[in-house]
Structure 1
């Protein structure tokens, strides 16, 4: 036995060496080159027709262009100059970069105008890169001697927040220039990514060698480390609609701290340090550099208006994220660190819920673990979207119901109360998923003290759940019912009257939705398109995740258990109702009347009830295999690693 463990530790060591080598090679051949490149992040360009006549500026004049860098570093800047080539070059130009807040000249340059050939860019590298520049005010100052016939090009339109000033007079136009930085921020991000990845593989391997075979343990290890990498690689604002959920979270924090929630225009009050963070919804090099630079900004707690109003959802919908942002406020963290605290607490909430869900499941543990570890699931879990909470609570509700069906001998008031609390928390977040709570009706009557107790529970359960949901989301429900007005002329969104008035066409729309978009739905359930749909994961990786899920159907040892036919029918009917509700909601709110299919439906909408639906596949004819959980966990880990490198490639290829 000791000899076997020794061999396993040696194999793990070799695996770590191999993975470490792959990480180093990826850095050397992919990351290093991009990290050492320079790029423009303030880039004012103009065609020849968009540049002012420069003859007015020839001679002894000074031009000042104020800038406010969004990133935390300046390595050089470039200025476009115009020179009169018909006269001899005799003048001298003086250029300096001036720090307004410190009232100091950072660096200055003098050069002869003969270096300028017509319309030409001149480069001004800094002897030492200027750091911690994000949000600070600088000026590019250019002055010319009296005999100079060259001057910086100025646009005839305003293309930047600050206009150029010539001899103290403000112009309606901007100096043609760009500010450059390197991509060195990629190096610390890649180091953090590498450390988390290696630790995750090490812990997973150690768990196997030490004889830990519990699916919930595998899930927790993979969830902690793989989820952490989604936090590292996916900054705030990158997940779908995350900016809107962030506004709701800020509003909830204001309520808890007893501050004014919104201004007279309905926009959320936030600290100035929060408002400074611009919405960067695409995962690009520029946006990642901006987010990285925001980590080092000084905290400003002055209350100002945010750029949007909160979405109309109950406070419980963003409770985990609210806790994180509240911690950031109480400890005076800056805006970016505060947002990351919200992502961390969201992930922790998700991991805790799913861990206990898998732990109490009597069977189908790996089915739930695989679904909960899909790239789409983890991206949402580490975001501000209320899908994090909906998925976690839905899985917990389904698991606890399965526990009551198969393992609990007597269902008492405590068990009923737990289901009611979880259901009442989950359903108001997204009303369509209230039907998941209907799975509680799969609990057999014999589990209760008597039939009367069972009937009382189920009637009370449905009544209280409906009252809670309708009470909390009444505005949304009224809006949905209001869409039945057939006189609506909105270009986006059908009405119930339109759908019913032409049933043949409506059936055709449904046909197109399910059969033309099925590939998209299957892919996006797993995570084919991450972020704001710009990170495409290859199909061979998606198929790998699907195979792991299929393999998980056979990962139950011991006594064979499965749902009865009437319980399976109930789960299928509930899933069909929720699928129809999702499609109908997007049909009514999001689909233009001229489209041939329902728009806006995404695979992630089916995640909350997917475990319940897959549990119906189990039967007494299903062949079970023992001790395959570790193989599935290794497969999921490998596929996640491949997914992360695909994300890296998407980020890096933008530099080419």
Structure 2
């Protein structure tokens, strides 16, 4: 059976042969794989250890929002994810789409499920999850048929996200259903397939990224991310797709030559997938827009955006209008009007809440403190291994050119923060009744985790920095050479006359 590393090597090598690269270019994937060996082993060791630990010690239905992730995974596995919904108006005046799911009551009842934050569930891993026995007890019940519908109590939210994001979990559940496994074991198979997809995607990102491989491996193996990857949550796909997108972007920036057509098609596909995962994660697109023209011309940037937008309009917009719905505990229309009328107040509310977020995260216990410590140490290791090159910056324009990726990454992260908070303010808070210092409901730290790989941009600099470095080297070489005597106008004229005579 081929190993994961050999599979990745074969895939990368075949893709290079298809686009007609030279033998030296074809050896690059093999060199990249060898260069990534240490980071891959580190990631695989910690990822598989943590994944197997969480799968055995935490219940399959102990996760945030099981009424989204468990129901949607089951719906995707049974082919019901596109069941035609019925329109309904809730008591807030929001139009919602009610989708019915048909199936075994042992799956649709979600018996013993525990809806809790990731940090809260990680605190329980020191002991045996008390909800596991209740979740396993459903195995003793006889199979039956029942209908589960969406209601005002949000019992079923399977049609909230694009169905493709639940395919990793659905593969394992489909296998369990078709091999007649028990309900609990079927959920476990869904967790295993989700973990497998996450592991493969992150390994691909580690191989692709040209530097900061160990840092990316540490980010991928964080306890919070590994808990998500070993559950039925779609967030694991969000995290791994962002990592692959960032790794591919960084690989394009370092070559200082035009991006290939294959690379741009891959970036476009990733952009579409990120938009379909969650619209807020598509803010990574602004990284592509700041690439120098010698890497990606303005025309090709426009083609990239147009191609991506065309697919999104054709696929996502169709699904959104026919099937998707957003559940809310407030009037979305009233909140939207309030946000438009008071934009400054909204910015202050977001800034205030985000500044309080680290303290609230640390209050959740040891796992959250460990998360902050690990990220801090990983950043220190990254900066130590790749010290920032020193350049003489003589203007603001040069500074922006050299540090364009750091500036753009920071802007993308700030944009993500505002978009996440804005979405929560629209759907889970009654804005006209809120004071500016009130806590915004609905925010979870996992919404920001997909952007953690962006921290690797600290050690990347724009190709334009070479121009600055060249200036400095020329200045140094001029110092070593004897100064040239400036010729007068008469001497220059005489020289030209003599040359003509010759």
The Cα of 1:557 is off from its aligned counterpart by 6.2
- Determine helix, strand or coil for the equivalent of 1:304: strand
Counterpart in the other structure of 1:287: 131
1:220 aligns with 2:34: no
Counterpart in the other structure of 1:21: none
CA distance in 2 between partners of 1:257 and 1:586 (Å): 25
Counterpart in the other structure of 1:438: 286
Match of 1:473 among 320, 329, 347: 320
Alignment of 1:626-641 (within 5 A): none
1:594 aligns with 2:467: no
In structure 2, the CA distance between the partners of 1:242 and 1:617, relative to structure 1 (3 Å rule), is farther
1:615 aligns with 2:457: yes
Spell out structure 1 runs of 4+ moving beyond 6 A: 260-265, 475-480, 491-494, 557-563
CA distance in 2 between partners of 1:232 and 1:246 (Å): 18
Match of 1:270 among 88, 103, 114: 103
Answer whether contact 2:271 2:308 (CA < 8 A) is retained. Answer: no
The Cα of 1:467 is off from its aligned counterpart by 5.1
Match of 2:337 among 497, 502, 506: 497
Which structure shows the higher helix fraction? 2
Counterpart in the other structure of 2:410: 572
CA distance in 2 between partners of 1:454 and 1:319 (Å): 30
Answer whether contact 1:299 1:332 (CA < 8 A) is retained. Answer: no
Answer whether contact 1:360 1:399 (CA < 8 A) is retained. Answer: yes
Which ranges of structure 1 fall in alignment gaps of 5 or more residues? 1-210, 484-488, 530-535, 621-656
In structure 2, the CA distance between the partners of 1:552 and 1:591, relative to structure 1 (3 Å rule), is farther
- Determine helix, strand or coil for the equivalent of 1:609: helix
- Determine helix, strand or coil for the equivalent of 1:554: helix
1:554 aligns with 2:344: no
TM-score, normalised relative to structure 1: 0.52
Answer whether contact 2:219 2:453 (CA < 8 A) is retained. Answer: yes
Counterpart in the other structure of 2:374: 545
Counterpart in the other structure of 2:224: 376
In structure 2, the CA distance between the partners of 1:334 and 1:276, relative to structure 1 (3 Å rule), is farther
The Cα of 1:545 is off from its aligned counterpart by 1.5
Once the two structures are superposed, residues 211-248 of structure 1 have per-residue CA deviations (whole angstroms, 9 ceiling, x without a partner) of 99621221112111112212122212212112321111
Answer whether contact 1:342 1:384 (CA < 8 A) is retained. Answer: yes
CA distance in 2 between partners of 1:232 and 1:319 (Å): 22
- Determine helix, strand or coil for the equivalent of 1:289: helix
The Cα of 1:515 is off from its aligned counterpart by 2.7
CA distance in 1 between partners of 2:81 and 2:370 (Å): 45
- Determine helix, strand or coil for the equivalent of 2:100: coil
In structure 2, the CA distance between the partners of 1:591 and 1:329, relative to structure 1 (3 Å rule), is same
Stretch moving more, 261-270 or 303-312? 261-270
In structure 2, the CA distance between the partners of 1:445 and 1:299, relative to structure 1 (3 Å rule), is farther
Once the two structures are superposed, residues 276-296 of structure 1 have per-residue CA deviations (whole angstroms, 9 ceiling, x without a partner) of 6504206675422223455xx
CA distance in 2 between partners of 1:478 and 1:242 (Å): 17
In structure 2, the CA distance between the partners of 1:220 and 1:293, relative to structure 1 (3 Å rule), is same
Corresponding residue pairs, total: 388
The Cα of 1:501 is off from its aligned counterpart by 3.8
In structure 2, the CA distance between the partners of 1:469 and 1:520, relative to structure 1 (3 Å rule), is farther
1:457 aligns with 2:304: yes
Counterpart in the other structure of 1:121: none
CA distance in 2 between partners of 1:333 and 1:571 (Å): 46
